[in-house]
């Protein structure tokens, strides 16, 4: 069936009673979407080889590979076919590995022997390889890859308006060749001393008082959005990363019945630096957590459960990012906060940056700010010898920040709110 594929169609397509359905994308010649009776969904690219025989090359599974990425992969395959190549034969040759001398073989070793053992972001490495590198270098011998080849590949991403991704891909390629040198299979790294070609925008977005007031009330004003809105409020109050907030679990909460000792302890398996992170839940943050707990069943573990029918568990960090984006797109009016929000829409990471910046304005020492945000300590003493968890200092810092937020959203004076927060915390 020939149709113009859309994300909505892909999500709503029902499996057949038997056999399979195949949809050919009229917007991308050769791209095919297949769904089987068992519910398996996959992408492929159909083409005619040099002998005129119609052939099918596998792209990958949906939704791991979305519509946009599948079209990009099909476009790359079509270009190779036009140049006389055959993606199926190239893949077979890559599997044979030509004695392990192809870039694909080297990349596979890098993923297995290095990234999966030492990098929390190994899945992102694999995805970037599949989408942005292997379609161009899959069957190529790594010894033939030169500096100009890397530049050409990176510049293609920059031209597509993805400078940050271009830099990440360049770093990944460099890491693969460095791994190859360490494994004594590669003689040189074509990325050696190659400057990052993409110009990245350094994040500097910090919410103003008016924007915080706008965000605090508006992010929870729709019933269906209240759950994710409360999660984003918690991010603003604690400075936690959006993925950490999305996965908050009942088992990570301690002493919720004691307002001056309540805490959220994120295990090292869920933090960016692999270190357990204690976040004191000051009363305002504790109220948010208690509301989230009250909205789930007593036996449920995740405070922000997913609504997806395809998987169970908690919301993804991307879901909270989308919720914040949707909030911004719904804003109307001519208020100053609305204008500045729409001119530069903030992200959940900007909430974290706001916390760090505002704590600095409150004269919280950098050492304590870093502990609140769980920044990895750089010095040897802090890494290995200073085991003090700074719980009291972090609680004090977050109390002062919560007082600031209350003052902003209620229009009260700072002094009044500080007194109220001090009293609610039992005189802490």
Q: Over the stretch 136-185, which tens digit does the pLDDT of each residue have?
A: 998 899 999 999 999 999 999 999 888 888 999 999 999 999 999 999 88
pLDDT of residue 388: 59
Q: How many CB atoms lie within 10 A of CB 134?
A: 23
pLDDT at 378 over 70: no
pLDDT of residue 381: 52
Comparing 103-107, 357-361, 362-366, 380-384, which segment has the lowest mean pLDDT?
A: 380-384
pLDDT at 189 over 90: yes
User: How much is the pTM?
Assistant: 0.59
List where CATH 1.10.150.130 sits in the chain.
97-182
Instruction: Give yes or no for a contact between 408 and 209, defined as CB atoms under 8 angstroms apart.
Output: yes
**Would you place residue 426 in the very low, low, confident or very high pLDDT band (cuts 50, 70, 90)?**
very low
Superfamily of domain 2-95: Integrase, DNA-binding domain (3.30.160.390)
Residue 158 structure tokens: 């920059």
Residue 276 structure tokens: 């357990």
Q: Which residue has the tokens 């609305």?
A: 338
pLDDT at 427 over 50: no
Q: How many CB atoms lie within 10 A of CB 155?
A: 13
User: Which CATH architecture is the domain 97-182 placed in?
Assistant: Orthogonal Bundle (1.10)
Query: What is the chain's alpha carbon radius of gyration, rounded to the nearest angstrom?
Result: 26
Q: How far apart, in Å, are the Cα atoms of 127 and each of 5, 141, 421?
A: 22, 21, 46
Q: What is the DSSP letter of 113?
A: I
| Phi, psi at 6, each rounded to 5° | -135, 160
pLDDT at 96 over 70: no
List where CATH 1.10.443.10 sits in the chain.
209-424
| Phi, psi at 188, each rounded to 5° | -150, 155
pLDDT of residue 428: 33
pLDDT of residue 416: 45
Written out in words, the top-level CATH class of the domain with range 209-424 is: mainly alpha
Comparing 210-224, 250-264, 411-425, which segment has the lowest mean pLDDT?
A: 411-425
Instruction: Give yes or no for a contact between 142 and 180, defined as CB atoms under 8 angstroms apart.
Output: yes
Average pLDDT over residues 10-29: 91
Q: What percentage of residues in the chain have a pLDDT greater than 90?
A: 64
| Rounded Cα gap, residues 155 and 91, in angstroms | 25
| Rounded Cα gap, residues 150 and 131, in angstroms | 15
pLDDT at 387 over 50: no
| Phi, psi at 75, each rounded to 5° | -60, -40
pLDDT of residue 198: 86
CA nearest neighbour of 40 among 412, 382, 401, 310:
310
| Rounded Cα gap, residues 425 and 423, in angstroms | 5
Tally of helices (H runs) and strands (E runs) in the chain: 20, 8
**Would you place residue 415 in the very low, low, confident or very high pLDDT band (cuts 50, 70, 90)?**
very low
Comparing 64-73, 202-211, 408-417, which segment has the lowest mean pLDDT?
A: 408-417
Average pLDDT over residues 70-74: 94
CA nearest neighbour of 271 among 252, 298, 255, 296:
252
pLDDT of residue 361: 95
pLDDT at 417 over 50: no
**Mean per-residue pLDDT of the chain:** 88
List where CATH 3.30.160.390 sits in the chain.
2-95
Contacts of 134 (CB under 8 A, 6+ apart): 103, 104, 107
pLDDT of residue 161: 85
Average pLDDT over residues 23-37: 93
pLDDT of residue 203: 67
The DSSP element (H or E) to which 221 belongs, if any, is: none
Q: Could you tell me where the beta strands, DSSP code E, fall in 269-425?
A: 277-280
Coil, strand, or helix at residue 41?
A: strand
Comparing 117-126, 247-256, 316-325, 396-405, which segment has the lowest mean pLDDT?
A: 117-126
């Amino acid at each position: 069936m020939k149709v113009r594929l859309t994300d909505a169609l892909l999500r709503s397509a029902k499996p057949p009673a038997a056999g399979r359905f195949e949809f050919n994308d009229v917007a991308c010649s050769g791209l095919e979407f297949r769904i089987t009776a068992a519910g398996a969904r996959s992408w492929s690219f159909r083409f005619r080889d040099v002998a005129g025989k119609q052939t099918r090359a596998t792209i990958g599974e949906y939704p791991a590979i979305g519509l946009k990425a599948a079209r990009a992969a099909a476009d790359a395959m079509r270009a190779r076919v036009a140049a006389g190549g055959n993606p199926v034969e190239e893949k077979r040759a890559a599997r044979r590995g030509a004695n392990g001398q192809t870039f694909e073989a080297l990349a596979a070793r890098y993923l297995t022997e290095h990234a999966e053992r030492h990098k929390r972001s190994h899945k992102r490495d694999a995805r970037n390889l599949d989408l942005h590198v292997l379609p161009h270098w899959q069957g190529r011998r790594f010894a033939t890859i030169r500096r100009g080849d890397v530049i050409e590949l990176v510049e293609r991403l920059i031209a597509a308006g993805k400078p940050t991704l271009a830099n990440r891909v360049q770093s990944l390629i460099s890491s693969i060749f460095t791994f190859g040198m360490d494994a004594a299979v590669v003689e040189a790294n074509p990325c050696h001393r190659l400057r990052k070609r993409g110009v990245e925008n350094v994040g500097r977005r910090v919410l103003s008082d008016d924007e915080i007031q706008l965000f605090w009330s508006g992010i929870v004003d729709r019933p269906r959005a209240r759950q994710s809105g409360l999660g984003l409020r918690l991010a603003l109050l604690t400075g936690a990363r959006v993925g950490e907030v999305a996965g908050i679990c009942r088992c990570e909460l301690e002493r919720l019945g004691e307002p001056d000792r309540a805490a959220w302890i994120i295990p090292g398996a869920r933090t960016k630096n692999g270190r357990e992170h204690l976040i004191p839940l000051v009363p305002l943050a504790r109220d948010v957590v208690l509301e989230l707990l009250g909205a789930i069943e007593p036996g449920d573990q995740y405070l922000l459960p997913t609504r997806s029918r395809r998987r169970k568990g908690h919301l993804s960090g991307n879901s909270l990012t989308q919720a914040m984006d949707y909030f911004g797109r719904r804003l109307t009016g001519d208020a100053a906060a609305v204008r500045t929000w729409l001119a530069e829409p903030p992200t959940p990471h900007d909430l974290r940056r706001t916390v760090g910046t505002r704590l600095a304005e409150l004269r919280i020492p950098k050492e304590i700010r870093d502990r609140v945000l769980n920044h990895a300590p750089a010095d040897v003493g802090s890494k290995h010898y200073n085991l003090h968890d700074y719980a009291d200092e972090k609680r004090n810092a977050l109390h002062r920040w919560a007082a600031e937020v209350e003052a902003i959203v209620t229009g009260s004076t700072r002094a009044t709110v500080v007194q109220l927060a001090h009293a609610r915390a039992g005189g802490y």
